Amino acid sequence: MEKSGYISEIKEYTEINVNRCYQCGKCSAGCAIAGEMDYPPSMVMRMLQTNNEENYQSLLQSQSIWLCVSCQNCVTRCPMEIDIPRLMDYMREKAYREKKVNRKSSNILSFHKAFLDSVKHTGRLYEIGLVAGYKIRTLNILQDMDVAPSMFMKGKLPILPEMVKDKKQLTTIFKETEKDASSSHTQK
Protein backbone atom coordinates (compact mmCIF):
# COMPACT_ATOMS: atom_id res chain seq x y z
CA MET A 1 0.00 0.00 0.00
CA GLU A 2 1.25 3.43 -0.92
CA LYS A 3 2.08 5.67 2.04
CA SER A 4 1.48 9.39 1.88
CA GLY A 5 2.00 12.37 4.10
CA TYR A 6 -1.58 13.54 4.24
CA ILE A 7 -2.09 12.70 7.94
CA SER A 8 0.73 15.03 8.93
CA GLU A 9 -0.42 17.60 6.38
CA ILE A 10 -3.90 17.55 7.95
CA LYS A 11 -2.33 17.88 11.40
CA GLU A 12 -0.25 20.82 10.24
CA TYR A 13 -3.16 22.78 8.73
CA THR A 14 -6.03 21.83 11.04
CA GLU A 15 -4.25 20.71 14.23
CA ILE A 16 -6.36 17.54 14.11
CA ASN A 17 -4.78 14.18 14.77
CA VAL A 18 -7.04 11.72 12.94
CA ASN A 19 -5.50 8.81 14.83
CA ARG A 20 -7.20 9.94 18.05
CA CYS A 21 -10.51 8.63 16.72
CA TYR A 22 -11.34 5.23 18.21
CA GLN A 23 -14.33 4.50 16.01
CA CYS A 24 -17.09 4.67 18.61
CA GLY A 25 -19.52 5.84 15.89
CA LYS A 26 -21.17 8.56 17.96
CA CYS A 27 -20.50 11.18 15.27
CA SER A 28 -22.32 9.19 12.58
CA ALA A 29 -25.19 8.37 14.94
CA GLY A 30 -25.75 12.07 15.65
CA CYS A 31 -25.25 13.40 12.14
CA ALA A 32 -28.55 14.34 10.49
CA ILE A 33 -26.96 14.17 7.04
CA ALA A 34 -25.14 10.84 7.47
CA GLY A 35 -27.89 8.94 5.66
CA GLU A 36 -27.32 11.03 2.54
CA MET A 37 -23.54 10.79 2.62
CA ASP A 38 -21.48 8.31 0.62
CA TYR A 39 -19.17 8.05 3.67
CA PRO A 40 -20.63 8.94 7.10
CA PRO A 41 -18.33 10.89 9.45
CA SER A 42 -16.92 7.91 11.39
CA MET A 43 -16.09 6.22 8.09
CA VAL A 44 -14.39 9.40 6.90
CA MET A 45 -12.24 9.20 10.04
CA ARG A 46 -11.44 5.53 9.48
CA MET A 47 -10.50 6.12 5.85
CA LEU A 48 -8.19 8.97 6.86
CA GLN A 49 -6.52 6.78 9.48
CA THR A 50 -5.49 4.22 6.86
CA ASN A 51 -3.03 6.79 5.49
CA ASN A 52 -3.82 5.36 2.09
CA GLU A 53 -3.71 7.77 -0.83
CA GLU A 54 -6.48 5.95 -2.70
CA ASN A 55 -8.83 6.34 0.26
CA TYR A 56 -7.90 9.99 0.57
CA GLN A 57 -8.62 10.62 -3.09
CA SER A 58 -12.01 8.90 -2.69
CA LEU A 59 -12.80 11.30 0.15
CA LEU A 60 -11.72 14.33 -1.85
CA GLN A 61 -14.04 13.22 -4.64
CA SER A 62 -16.89 12.29 -2.32
CA GLN A 63 -20.22 14.01 -1.77
CA SER A 64 -19.82 13.72 2.02
CA ILE A 65 -17.42 16.65 2.27
CA TRP A 66 -19.92 18.91 0.46
CA LEU A 67 -23.02 17.63 2.23
CA CYS A 68 -21.64 18.38 5.70
CA VAL A 69 -23.40 21.51 6.96
CA SER A 70 -20.93 22.23 9.79
CA CYS A 71 -23.68 21.87 12.39
CA GLN A 72 -21.09 20.76 15.02
CA ASN A 73 -23.29 17.89 16.26
CA CYS A 74 -20.48 15.40 15.75
CA VAL A 75 -17.95 17.51 17.67
CA THR A 76 -20.21 17.87 20.67
CA ARG A 77 -20.85 14.11 20.74
CA CYS A 78 -17.27 13.02 20.13
CA PRO A 79 -15.50 11.77 23.32
CA MET A 80 -12.21 12.87 21.73
CA GLU A 81 -13.59 16.28 20.66
CA ILE A 82 -12.44 15.74 17.10
CA ASP A 83 -13.43 18.70 14.94
CA ILE A 84 -14.88 16.83 11.96
CA PRO A 85 -16.46 19.94 10.34
CA ARG A 86 -13.01 21.54 10.30
CA LEU A 87 -11.70 18.43 8.56
CA MET A 88 -14.55 18.53 6.05
CA ASP A 89 -13.78 22.17 5.40
CA TYR A 90 -10.11 21.40 4.83
CA MET A 91 -10.95 18.62 2.38
CA ARG A 92 -13.48 20.84 0.56
CA GLU A 93 -10.81 23.45 0.05
CA LYS A 94 -8.32 20.84 -1.15
CA ALA A 95 -10.84 19.19 -3.50
CA TYR A 96 -11.69 22.59 -4.95
CA ARG A 97 -8.07 23.60 -5.51
CA GLU A 98 -7.22 20.23 -7.04
CA LYS A 99 -10.35 20.31 -9.23
CA LYS A 100 -11.73 17.14 -7.70
CA VAL A 101 -15.18 18.37 -6.70
CA ASN A 102 -17.78 15.63 -7.06
CA ARG A 103 -19.97 16.47 -10.07
CA LYS A 104 -23.15 15.83 -8.09
CA SER A 105 -22.02 18.46 -5.56
CA SER A 106 -21.44 21.25 -8.06
CA ASN A 107 -24.67 23.02 -7.02
CA ILE A 108 -23.43 23.13 -3.42
CA LEU A 109 -20.18 24.68 -4.61
CA SER A 110 -22.19 27.25 -6.59
CA PHE A 111 -24.09 28.11 -3.42
CA HIS A 112 -20.82 28.56 -1.48
CA LYS A 113 -19.49 30.90 -4.20
CA ALA A 114 -22.70 32.94 -4.37
CA PHE A 115 -22.73 33.24 -0.57
CA LEU A 116 -19.11 34.41 -0.46
CA ASP A 117 -19.70 36.90 -3.29
CA SER A 118 -22.55 38.40 -1.29
CA VAL A 119 -20.41 38.75 1.83
CA LYS A 120 -17.44 40.04 -0.18
CA HIS A 121 -19.43 42.87 -1.76
CA THR A 122 -21.70 43.90 1.09
CA GLY A 123 -20.15 42.46 4.25
CA ARG A 124 -23.52 40.83 4.90
CA LEU A 125 -25.80 38.26 3.39
CA TYR A 126 -27.82 39.94 0.64
CA GLU A 127 -30.54 37.40 -0.11
CA ILE A 128 -31.51 38.59 -3.61
CA GLY A 129 -27.84 38.75 -4.64
CA LEU A 130 -27.26 35.27 -3.22
CA VAL A 131 -30.23 33.78 -5.06
CA ALA A 132 -29.32 35.55 -8.32
CA GLY A 133 -25.67 34.43 -8.08
CA TYR A 134 -26.74 30.86 -7.39
CA LYS A 135 -29.28 30.75 -10.20
CA ILE A 136 -26.90 32.21 -12.76
CA ARG A 137 -24.26 29.62 -11.86
CA THR A 138 -26.61 26.63 -11.85
CA LEU A 139 -29.09 27.83 -14.52
CA ASN A 140 -31.84 26.69 -12.15
CA ILE A 141 -33.74 29.90 -12.87
CA LEU A 142 -37.22 28.73 -11.93
CA GLN A 143 -36.32 26.61 -8.90
CA ASP A 144 -38.21 27.77 -5.74
CA MET A 145 -39.46 30.91 -7.51
CA ASP A 146 -42.95 30.27 -6.08
CA VAL A 147 -41.77 31.13 -2.54
CA ALA A 148 -40.29 34.50 -3.54
CA PRO A 149 -43.55 36.57 -3.43
CA SER A 150 -44.50 35.46 0.11
CA MET A 151 -40.92 36.03 1.34
CA PHE A 152 -40.98 39.46 -0.25
CA MET A 153 -44.33 40.30 1.40
CA LYS A 154 -42.93 39.25 4.79
CA GLY A 155 -39.91 41.54 4.34
CA LYS A 156 -37.46 38.65 4.05
CA LEU A 157 -36.15 39.81 0.66
CA PRO A 158 -34.99 43.42 0.93
CA ILE A 159 -34.57 45.04 -2.51
CA LEU A 160 -31.35 46.85 -1.63
CA PRO A 161 -28.38 45.33 0.19
CA GLU A 162 -27.35 46.51 3.60
CA MET A 163 -23.65 47.43 3.54
CA VAL A 164 -21.13 47.26 6.35
CA LYS A 165 -19.69 50.63 7.32
CA ASP A 166 -16.03 49.68 7.05
CA LYS A 167 -15.77 48.36 3.49
CA LYS A 168 -12.00 48.85 3.52
CA GLN A 169 -11.58 46.41 6.39
CA LEU A 170 -13.75 43.92 4.55
CA THR A 171 -11.55 44.17 1.45
CA THR A 172 -8.46 43.62 3.61
CA ILE A 173 -9.98 40.52 5.23
CA PHE A 174 -10.72 38.96 1.83
CA LYS A 175 -7.30 39.89 0.44
CA GLU A 176 -5.49 38.40 3.46
CA THR A 177 -7.60 35.24 3.35
CA GLU A 178 -6.91 34.73 -0.35
CA LYS A 179 -3.19 35.34 0.24
CA ASP A 180 -3.10 32.79 3.12
CA ALA A 181 -4.98 30.23 1.08
CA SER A 182 -2.70 30.52 -1.93
CA SER A 183 0.50 30.45 0.15
CA SER A 184 -0.62 27.33 2.06
CA HIS A 185 -1.49 25.76 -1.29
CA THR A 186 1.93 26.45 -2.81
CA GLN A 187 3.64 24.99 0.26
CA LYS A 188 1.85 21.65 -0.27
Which residues form the interface with ligand SF4 (CB under 6 A)? 21-27, 30-31, 33, 41-42, 45, 68-74, 77-80, 82, 84-85, 88
CB of 138 to ligand SF4, least distance (A): 22
Instruction: Look at residues 120, 100, 30, 43 and name the one whose alpha carbon lies nearest to residue 69.
Output: 30
Closest distance to ligand SF4 from the beta carbon of 16 (Å): 10
Nearer to ligand SF4, 50 or 72 (CB): 72
Q: Please, which residue, 71 or 125, has the CB nearer to ligand SF4?
A: 71
* Least Cβ distance, residue 19 to ligand SF4 (angstroms): 10
Instruction: Tell me how far, at minimum, the Cβ of 11 lies from ligand SF4, in Å.
Output: 15
Nearer to ligand SF4, 87 or 101 (CB): 87
Q: Smaller CB distance to ligand SF4: residue 91 or 131?
A: 91
